[in-house]
Amino acid sequence: MCHRKTLLSILCVAIAALPTSALLAGEPIEYAKQLAAPDDGRFRASPIPGLEEAYLSPLFPSSHAANLLLLKSGDLLCVWFSGTWEGQSDVGILLSRLPKGSKQWSKPRLVDHHIGESYQNPVLFQAPNGTIWLIHTTQAAEQGQANAKVLVAKSDDGGDHWTTPSVLFDQAGAFVRQRLLVMPNHDWMLPMYFTPSKGITTGAESNYSVVKISSDQGAQWKTCAVPQSNGLVQPDVVRLSDGTYMMFFRSRFADYIYKSVSKDGCIWTAPQKTPLPNNNSSIQVATLTNGHLVIAFNNVGSVVSRGKPQAGPRKPLSVAISEDGGNSWPWVRDLETGKLRAGELSAESVKKNEPGREEYSYPSIIQGSDHKVYVAYTYRRFTVKAVRFDENWIKEGTTVGTFRGGSKE
């Protein structure tokens, strides 16, 4: 298991031997200098009024794909994958904790890693009995996603110690990104997707989404198909106030966010496009205690009609509110526009697969025990940035993105 000293020592040696692309001028990356902000994981007032921000302390050169979980205790956990670069052998899963009422995230620590494998897309779930599940993908290093499978590790002490990971789903190309739901009948619902293609563009029209449902606390799972979901991935499900389930999708075609609905969580309608654009990058939706939906997404698309799978820019990063169950999104506000702050490292000299590029992506959004909205996301692949704000903060701002609000379907 990764928290053992022997494996940590191996990983430290691997990180110390990183290629020069992971270093700047032959020296370890000085993250606070590159970010022009403290990288100590402490919430501070943002230059944007009404917003607090924290840069979680980086351990390794590249970080991506954060996911948040609110524990029954009121603490927030954040997980993401980190290493030299996505897909490489030294990429493992990191975890940080924000205690209830605190401004300070804990120093991240490595909780899962295996030499020769590359871990991605961690998801956290606290079962009704209190056990925390850490679910994530694994794939042979530098081999792409086509043969990925899904692992699970568990913690019975709030995330301090974890079991050795075991295989949860071994069908080739199995992938997760979004959170589990506990249904009113106590069944568990896990949205997931399959990636027969190695990457996110060439051949990615073959990717498709499903829902897994378990009636025995995750021991066995049945598969519910999502019709006509080819090219639509990373399904994210919320339960509306009327009991209906709504699923939102990332589009490999970089056109729009799509949605599907279900009355029972297993029989789904064919996905239909929403007015929200998508750039073939991750989104996430959450239901607030007042029933409103909040969504975090890159407010940009590449096309207005489907063609071949493609990718778009990963900025701006925006949040929006729906008060009518996802039918309209009247208010949109940017978290990141891509404009660098004074002193921040320019991306002009950054190579394709190294940290520092202009990317603000893979948001995770949730409401905390203090009723504030929290968003954690990839910040230029340097680290994970966390922000928090009141719901009304969204209504008090604007966007430079494609979608400007409104558009009732």
DSSP state letters, 227-281: TT-TTEEEEEEEE-TTS-EEEEEEETTSSEEEEEEESSSSS-PPPEEEEEE--SS
The distance from CA 117 to its chain's CA centroid, rounded to whole angstroms, is 20
- 409 has pLDDT over 70: no
Pick from 196-205, 237-246, 340-349: least confident: 340-349
Does residue 214 register a pLDDT over 60?
yes
What's residue 3's pLDDT?
A: 41
Does the pLDDT of residue 407 top 70, yes or no?
no
244-274 b/e (C-beta count within 10 Å ≥ 16 → b): ebbbbbbbbbbbbbbbbbbeebbebeebebb
- Kindly indicate the confidence band of residue 397, based on its pLDDT and cuts at 50, 70 and 90: very high
Tell me: pLDDT of 325 over 50. yes
> Mean pLDDT over all residues of the chain?
91
What is the pLDDT averaged over residues 151-176?
A: 96
Q: Is the pLDDT of residue 222 over 90?
A: yes
pTM: 0.93
How many distinct helices (H) and strands (E) make up the chain?
3, 26
Of 294, 291, 148, nearest in space to 233 by CA: 148
Identify the band that residue 408 occupies on the pLDDT scale cut at 50, 70 and 90: low
Helix (H) / strand (E) element for 394: namely: helix 391-395
Q: How far is CA 343 from CA 32, 37, 300, 388, in A?
A: 10, 9, 26, 24
